[in-house]
Structure 1
């Protein structure tokens, strides 16, 4: 009898958390925020996996149609960023053939606020073509997401002096 009561209570709780269409009712905002935060952190990690796979299509698929990619420390020698999903795809397509692989080591990743923003501290390692060495830099990035979990804004912060030195462009820094 005790087992039957526990099952009945569990079934009642399960169905009371769903609306008439069978969709989970997120009346507990902390559960919703946790869900959003986990989803968006996972989407952030998918972004880095797509970069490592050197797949511009996969990268772009993570962004909303009106997304922005911003490089505030472009220093006049690196791209400022890109606008729109197609613009972001076009930004990354010519990048990948210039390298012999890239890896990103995530040092810290945090969900912020309502879960729709993610902060990442990481180190990038990019193998240069023709055994020309490895370019490495420390990065900080922020990601903003819409309600569907698509990236609406990606800001990439890197040391432009290290980047310019790594690509032989130090004399071009403004």
Structure 2
């Protein structure tokens, strides 16, 4: 791939990845339909028992995130987006600072990988500290 074309693709895809976080921070969850491919998926390998290990398809992803407003208020995700040699693959190191409507905040550290195809996310894998999550939501890790 020509260097100029590769750099343009990296910047276009970086914007798609950033729009994932913008959708959450602004609670404009319809934006997720522009971010993810119809058959895109989110994988959560470290989700504790009782939590989904994946959301398959844009409708499942949309339902997951749009449902967060029932329990959470303002969400902020300070982030660093790292491109790789593959213009369709990104690492994102981020922190979640999430207001809990019942009181308090949920703060965790994350690493996400994003695989894109044709300008849409095909696969997003989210890694987080499940001990921090368990303490915040009183989950018994077995």
Instruction: Show the 5 A alignment for 1:25-174.
Output: 29-106=2-79, 108-130=80-102, 132-147=103-118, 149-169=119-139, 171=140, 173-174=141-142
TM-score, normalisation: structure 2: 0.93
Query: Unaligned regions of 5+ residues in structure 1, if any?
Result: 1-27
Q: Structure 1 segments of 4 or more deviating over 2 A?
A: none
Q: What whole-Å deviation, never above 9, does each CA across 1:115-168 have from its counterpart, x for those lacking one? A: 1011100111000013x1111000000101112x11110011101110111112
Once residues 85 and 112 of structure 1 are traced to their aligned partners in structure 2, the CA distance between those partners, rounded to angstroms, is 25
Question: Shift of the alpha carbon at 1:86?
Answer: 1.2
Once residues 26 and 138 of structure 2 are traced to their aligned partners in structure 1, the CA distance between those partners, rounded to angstroms, is 25
SS in 2 for 1:96: helix
Structure with more relative contact order (C-alpha pairs < 8 Å, separation 6 or more): 2
SS in 2 for 1:94: helix
Whether the aligned pair in 2 keeps the contact of 1:61 and 1:85 (CA below 8 Å) is no
Once residues 100 and 26 of structure 2 are traced to their aligned partners in structure 1, the CA distance between those partners, rounded to angstroms, is 16
TM-score, normalisation: structure 1: 0.77
Q: Who wins on radius of gyration, i.e. which is larger?
A: 1
Query: Unaligned regions of 5+ residues in structure 2, if any?
Result: none
Superposition RMSD in Å: 1.3
Size of the aligned set, in residue pairs, is 142
